[in-house]
């Protein structure tokens, strides 16, 4: 049985269903990320786990403890859950020193003074803050403040660490560095991480598993590799990484044609998907081939450093292709033929409404 369990959790704010029928299990020591566009319910889920929000349906357990239950109207208050939590806006207390910030949760637990000192020291050491322990956190940079927040969360040695976009207030360079620091701390202390982000590369780099969410509904829960290479649906495919979609048509079991002109496809979808389909592929998984494949015309070619990026017109649709900078390719204005190496098939997109 998983360590943290969310069973049929639902949360509504008035008419808005922020989180719908969420079932989730997170293992001990796992790094689990929640990923999705803005407003999809990531923060709400995390705050329900932390105990800041009540549930409209469902239950939350950690180990053999019941934390929240809408049916029993039981909610263990956040201060009794013994989690560590880090917020986006740092939330370090400017009227206390760095040391006092980190010692705060330990003091509340009425530990012996020597224990408090030892564990505060340990947390400060792990986050490289010993030098600034007596300073005010207001005098630190954004990265420094976030380290204080991390140390404070670590101090009680929690089993579960909740992180809500902890790095998105930092500049990109620092963000990458802190990512690895968090991972190192996890290895050292062995806590589970529940990590909220809308930065997919962050989620990929850190996580054992990723949850992709949309409008409060879970789309896929899987390892980073599987989410990327076996996306569960069209939304996940388009949300993770770069993506292309081509509308295609088909008569019965015949070959597929690109809608609006652009040739016939050499590959066929699995049977029984209907006559109007979407062909999805990644820009990196296309090559320039010989005649007989999809025909297109290069509209724009841009050199981006290691890769060359093409905007290609296929009939009335447009796709993006990226190749290595050394591989040969057509110039802007020339016609070309696309060789799609890894096609994904999805039902044609419903008209927006």
Partner 1 sequence: MSFSLKKGETFGTAQIILFLSIAILVIVVAVPVLLIFANAFWDNNGNFNLHDVMNVLREPDTYQALLNSVIIASGTTIGSTTIGTFFAWLVTRTDLPCKKFMKAMFLVPFMLPSFIGALAWKMLLSPRAGYINRFFMDIFNLDEPFFNIYSYLGIVLVEIMYLFPFVFIQVCGALERMDPTLEESARISGAGLGTITRKITIPLVLPSILSGALLIMLYSMAHFGTVAVLGIENGIYNIPTLIYERIHQSAGSFESIRTGTVLASVLVVSAAFIIWMQNKILSKGHFQIIAGKSFRPMELKLRGLRIPLLVACCTYIAITIVLPTAVIFLVGALPTYGMPFTWENLSLENYKFILFDNQLTKDAIFNSVSLGLSAALITMFTGVMISYVIVKMKVRGKGVLEFLGMLPFSVPGSVIALGVILAWSGKFGINIYNTVWIILLAYIARYMAFSLKANSAALEQVHDSLVEAARACGATMWQALKDIVLPLVRPGMLAAFFLIFLPSLRELTVSIMLYAPTTRTIGVAIYTLNEDGETVVSAALAGVALVLIITGQSIINRFIARTTKG
Residues forming contacts to partner 1 in the complex (CB under 8 A) are: 47, 50-52, 77-85, 87-89, 91-95, 104-105, 108-109, 138, 149, 152-153, 156, 162, 169
Is there binding between residue 33 and Mg ion (CB under 5 A)?
Answer: no
* Residue 63 in tokens: 């180990």
CB of 228 to ligand ATP, least distance (A): 21
Is there binding between residue 256 and ligand ATP (CB under 6 A)?
Answer: no
Contact between 205 and 217 (Cβ < 8 Å): no
Residue 52 binds: one of partner 1, Mg ion, ligand ATP, none (C-beta under 5 to 8 A by kind): partner 1
Exposure on the CB side of residue 189, measured as CA atoms within 13 A: 28
Q: Rounded to whole angstroms, how far apart are CA atoms 231 and 234? A: 7
Is there binding between residue 42 and ligand ATP (CB under 6 A)?
Answer: yes
Identify which of residues 13 and 180 has a Cβ nearer to ligand ATP in the complex.
13
Q: Rounded to whole angstroms, how far apart are CA atoms 332 and 301? A: 6
- The residue among 131, 64, 69 whose CA lies nearest residue 99 is 131
The distance from CA 342 to its chain's CA centroid, rounded to whole angstroms, is: 23
Residue 13 binds: one of ligand ATP, Mg ion, partner 1, none (C-beta under 5 to 8 A by kind): ligand ATP
Site string for ligand ATP, 166-205 (x = CB under 6 A): --------------------------------x-------
Is there binding between residue 88 and Mg ion (CB under 5 A)?
Answer: no
Identify which of residues 43 and 219 has a Cβ nearer to Mg ion in the complex.
43
Instruction: Specify the stretch interacting with ligand ATP by CB under 6 A; choose among 37-45, 62-70, 299-307, 320-328.
Output: 37-45
Residue 38 binds: one of ligand ATP, Mg ion, partner 1, none (C-beta under 5 to 8 A by kind): ligand ATP
> Which residue among 38, 114, 134, 290 contacts ligand ATP (CB under 6 A)?
38
Q: Rounded to whole angstroms, how far apart are CA atoms 294 and 292? A: 7
Residue 39 binds: one of Mg ion, ligand ATP, partner 1, none (C-beta under 5 to 8 A by kind): ligand ATP
Residue with tokens 């939330």: 91
Identify which of residues 169 and 268 has a Cβ nearer to partner 1 in the complex.
169
Q: Rounded to whole angstroms, how far apart are CA atoms 17 and 56? A: 10
Contact between 345 and 277 (Cβ < 8 Å): yes
- What residues does 11 pair with on adjacent strands? 19
Strand order of the β-sheet with 276-281 is: 256-258, 244-250, 276-281, 344-347
Q: Rounded to whole angstroms, how far apart are CA atoms 231 and 237? A: 5
> What is the CB neighbour count within 10 angstroms for residue 224?
20
Identify which of residues 16 and 130 has a Cβ nearer to ligand ATP in the complex.
16
> Which residue among 39, 190, 261, 333 contacts ligand ATP (CB under 6 A)?
39
Length of the chain counted residue by residue = 353
Is there binding between residue 86 and ligand ATP (CB under 6 A)?
Answer: no
CB of 42 to Mg ion, least distance (A): 5
Binding site for ligand ATP (CB under 6 A): 13, 16, 18, 36, 38-44, 198
């Amino acid at each position: 049985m998983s360590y943290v369990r969310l069973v049929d959790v639902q949360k509504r704010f008035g008419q808005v269903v922020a989180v719908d029928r969420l079932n989730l299990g997170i293992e001990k020591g796992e790094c689990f990320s929640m990923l999705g566009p803005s407003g999809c319910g990531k923060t709400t889920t995390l705050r329900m786990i932390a105990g800041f929000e009540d549930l409209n349906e469902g239950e939350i357990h950690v180990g053999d403890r019941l934390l929240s239950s809408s049916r029993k109207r039981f909610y263990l208050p956040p201060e009794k859950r013994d989690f560590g939590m880090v917020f986006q806006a740092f939330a370090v207390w400017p009227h206390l020193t760095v040391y006092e910030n980190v010692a705060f949760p330990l003091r509340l637990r009425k530990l012996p003074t020597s224990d408090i000192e030892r564990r505060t020291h340990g947390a400060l050491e792990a986050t490289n803050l010993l030098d600034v322990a007596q300073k005010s956190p207001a005098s630190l940079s954004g990265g420094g403040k976030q380290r204080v927040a991390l140390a404070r969360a670590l101090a009680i040695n929690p089993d579960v660490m909740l992180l809500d976009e902890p790095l998105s207030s930092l500049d990109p360079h620092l963000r990458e560095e802190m990512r690895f620091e968090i991972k190192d701390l996890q290895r050292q202390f062995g806590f589970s991480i529940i990590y909220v982000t809308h930065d997919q590369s962050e989620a990929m780099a850190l996580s054992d598993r990723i949850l992709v969410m949309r409008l409060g509904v879970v789309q896929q829960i899987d390892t980073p590799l599987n989410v990327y290479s076996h996306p569960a649906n069209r939304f996940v495919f388009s949300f993770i990484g770069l993506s292309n979609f081509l509308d295609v048509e088909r008569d019965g079991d015949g070959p597929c044609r690109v809608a609006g002109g652009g040739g016939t496809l050499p590959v066929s979808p699995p049977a029984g998907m209907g006559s109007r389909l979407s062909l999805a592929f990644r820009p990196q998984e296309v090559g320039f081939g010989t005649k007989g494949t999809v025909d297109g015309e290069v509209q724009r070619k841009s050199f981006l450093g290691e890769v060359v990026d093409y905007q290609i017109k296929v009939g009335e649709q447009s796709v993006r292709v990226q190749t290595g900078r050394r591989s040969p390719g057509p110039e802007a204005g020339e016609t070309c033929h696309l060789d799609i190496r890894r096609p994904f098939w999805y039902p044609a997109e419903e008209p927006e409404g």
